[in-house]
Structure 1
Amino acid sequence: MVLTLGFMLAEVIGGLLSGSLALLADAGHMLSDGVSLLLSWLAFIYSDKQADFKRTFGWHRFQTLAAFVNGLSLLVIAAWIIWEAAWRFYQPVEIMAKPMFIIAVLGLLVNVVVFKILQGGDHDNLNLKSAMIHVMGDLLGSVAAIVAAVLIYFYAWNWADPLLSLLVAMLIIRSGWQVVKKATHILLEGSPNNIDTDAVKNKIIADIKTVIDVHHIHTWSLTNDKHLMSLHIKVDEHVDDYDVLREIKELIERNFPIFHTTIQIEHLDCPDDACR
C-alpha cells in the first residue's frame, strides 16, 4: 500500500510535467489502488472479529462491502479516463516522451511487485480479487504508457496517448463491473451459484428415510465462500428430532459447501402461509 501510494505521487508529477494522460490515468488508478489495498487490509482484520449481539454472524460481510466499494472506484476511474481521453482527441497537448517512458517503466516494475505479493493470497476471496484487479489495471496502464511513449518519441503520434488510455479504461470497466455485480449479488442475499437447492432437497429425502418432505429452502452468502442455508424438514411423527437434525447437518456438511445451516423440524403440515 505504501509502495503504491508513494509511486502514485511520482506519476502525478511525471504526468503533469510530461503532459501524458496515460500517466495521469495510471496515477489516478494507483490512488484507487491504495484505497483498495487499505480497504482490503481493514476487511481482513474486521472479518476475523468475533460475533456480538449486534452482528450475530460477525464481520464477514465487511469483505464483500469493501469489494463493492473497490469495484465502484474502478468504474469511476475508468469514466474519468474516458472523459479526459475524449477531450484530448479534440485538444491535443504536447507530450514529453522520454520522462513519460522512464516513469511508466518504473511504474510497471512497482505494479509487478505488488501483484506478485497479492498473488500469494486466497484467489477465491472476492475482496482480494478486486484488489488484484485494481493492480492489474495499473499494470496495463503502465504498459499502455510505455507503448504510447515509444510511438510518440519515434513517430510523433500524440494521439496514441489518449487512444491507449481508452483501451485500458475499457479493460478496467469490464473487470470493475464483474466485481460490482458479484458483490451486489451477495449484498442483496442472492443464492450462491454453486449450490443447487433441488439437489439438496433430493439428497436429504433419498438418504434419510424418516424425512417426508423438504421445503422453504433459502440460501445466501456472507462472503464469496461462506454460504448459509435455512430449510424446513417434515419428518415422521415418531422420530427423535435431535437424531434427524444431526443426520441432516452431517449430510449437508459432507456434500455441500454450507458454512451455517438453520433447520426447522415439522411433524405436521407447515404452519406458514406460503406452504398452503
Structure 2
Amino acid sequence: MGHSHSGHHHSHAHPDLKGRNLIISILLNIVITVAQVIGGVLSGSLSLLSDALHNFSDVLSLIISYVATVLSKKEASTNKTFGYKRAEIIAAFVNAASLIIVAVILIKEAVERFFNPQEIASGLVIWLSLIAIAGNGFSVLLLKKDANSNMNMKSAYLHLLTDMMASVAVFIGGLLMLYFKWYWVDPVLTLAIAIYLIYMGYDLLKDATRVLMLFTPNSIQVQHIVEAIKKIETVKNVHHVHIWQLNEDEVHLEAHIDFTEDIRLSQFDVILEEIEEELYHNHGINHVNIQPEFGKCDNKEVIVQD
C-alpha cells in the first residue's frame, strides 16, 4: 500500500502566542463576568445578567479552547497515532453548542421579563457595559488573526465578538432606560442578543460536526478527483475512495487504484508522486494513501463504499 505525507505545510500563527492571547482573554472575561453579575443583581437588569451569563460561557469556551490548543501540540503515540489533533475541533463543537444553549436560556428569560417589565438602575448598567465593551473589544482584537485559519480560535472569537455586541446593545439600552424610562428595551435587547447567538453558533456547529463525522470537505468533489486520477496512464479504475478532514490543516484521502498492467513497484512510486502533486495542488489534499491493485476481483463500480 503506497502511503505518503506530502511535505506541504501551511504557515501557522505561533502557537505560544495563540495560547498567551487566550489566557489574557480568559482573565479579562473573568473580571467582566464578576462585575456584571454584581451589577446585574444590584441594578435588576436582565440584559446585564444575560450578558454576564454569556460572558461566563465565554470564560468556559476560552478555557476549552486553551486546553485544546495545548493538547493539539502533544506528540502522537502508539495508542494515539493521530495524537490530539482533533482536540480543537471538539472544542469548536462544544463551544458552538454552548452558544446555542445560552441563547435558548436567554430567550426564555427575555419573554418572561417582557410581560413583566421592571425598573432598572440604568446608570450602573451603562458603566458596566462600557467596561465589558472595552475588555471584550481588546480580546476580539487579540484573537482575530487566528480566527480566520482555525475553527477552535474562531469559536472563541465568536463568543467574544457576540459578547462585545451584546455589551453595546446593553449600553444603548441603558441610555434609553435612563433618558426615556423604556424598561421594555431590556428584554427586547436580550432577545436580539440570543437570536444572534443562535445564528452564529449554528454555522460553526455545522462545520465542526462535518469534520467530526468524517464528511468530505465541502470544497472537494470526489468525482473530479476520480476523473483526474483516471487520466494517468496505466490507471484503469479508482474505487473505494474515502476523503476526510482530520483537523484544520490535514485532509486525508485513501483509495484503491486498479492498474491496466502488472506494473513494477518503482513505476507505482512514480505514479503515486504524480497523484500526490495533483491532489495537493488542485484539491488541497495533503495526506494520500493508495492501495494498488491488478486483476483483483472486487467491485470496481463502487466509488465510495467500504
Global fold match (TM > 0.5):
yes
SS of equivalent residue, structure 1 residue 234: strand
In 1, the alpha carbon distance for the partners of 2:295 and 2:31 equals 66
Alignment TM-score, normalising by the size of structure 2: 0.85
SS of equivalent residue, structure 2 residue 246: strand
Q: Which residue of 1 aligns with 2:54?
A: 29
In 1, the alpha carbon distance for the partners of 2:79 and 2:215 equals 22
In 1, the alpha carbon distance for the partners of 2:260 and 2:271 equals 10
Q: Which residue of 1 aligns with 2:281?
A: 254
In 1, the alpha carbon distance for the partners of 2:51 and 2:147 equals 26
SS of equivalent residue, structure 1 residue 218: strand
In 2, the alpha carbon distance for the partners of 1:229 and 1:118 equals 31
From 76, 88, 103, the equivalent of 2:128 is 103
In 2, the alpha carbon distance for the partners of 1:261 and 1:53 equals 21
Give, in angstroms, the shift of residue 122 of structure 1: 4.6
In 2, the alpha carbon distance for the partners of 1:220 and 1:275 equals 18
CA contact (8 A) 1:186 1:224 kept: no
Q: Which residue of 1 aligns with 2:254?
A: 230
From 160, 165, 170, the equivalent of 1:145 is 170
Let me know the Cα RMSD of the aligned residues: 1.7
1:180-231 deviation digits (Å, cap 9, x = unpaired) = 111111111111001111111111122x212111112111111244211111
SS of equivalent residue, structure 1 residue 232: strand
1:143-182 deviation digits (Å, cap 9, x = unpaired) = 1111111111111110000001101110001111111111
Q: Which residue of 1 aligns with 2:270?
A: 243
Alignment size in residue pairs: 275
From 221, 227, 249, the equivalent of 1:196 is 221
Q: Which residue of 1 aligns with 2:293?
A: 266
CA contact (8 A) 1:219 1:227 kept: yes
CA contact (8 A) 2:238 2:300 kept: no
From 70, 74, 88, the equivalent of 1:49 is 74
Give, in angstroms, the shift of residue 233 of structure 1: 0.8
Q: Which residue of 2 aligns with 1:157?
A: 182
1:100-122 deviation digits (Å, cap 9, x = unpaired) = 10111111111100000001225
Identity across aligned pairs (percent)?
36
SS of equivalent residue, structure 2 residue 83: coil
Q: Does 1:216 align with 2:216?
A: no
Specify the code of the residue in structure 1 equivalent to 2:116. Answer: Q
In 2, the alpha carbon distance for the partners of 1:62 and 1:40 equals 9
Q: Does 1:82 align with 2:107?
A: yes
SS of equivalent residue, structure 1 residue 17: helix
Specify the code of the residue in structure 2 equivalent to 1:253. Answer: Y
Provide structure 2 residue ranges, at least 5 long, that are not aligned to the other structure: 1-25
Q: Which residue of 1 aligns with 2:152?
A: 127
Q: Does 1:177 align with 2:237?
A: no
SS of equivalent residue, structure 1 residue 120: helix
In 2, the alpha carbon distance for the partners of 1:146 and 1:122 equals 26
SS of equivalent residue, structure 1 residue 121: helix
In 2, the alpha carbon distance for the partners of 1:120 and 1:257 equals 22
Provide structure 1 residue ranges, at least 5 long, that are not aligned to the other structure: none
Give, in angstroms, the shift of residue 272 of structure 1: 5.5
CA contact (8 A) 2:68 2:88 kept: yes
In 2, the alpha carbon distance for the partners of 1:83 and 1:244 equals 60
Specify the code of the residue in structure 1 equivalent to 2:50. Answer: A
Question: For structure 1, which segment, 247-256 or 60-69, has the greater mean C-alpha deviation from structure 2 after superposition?
Answer: 247-256
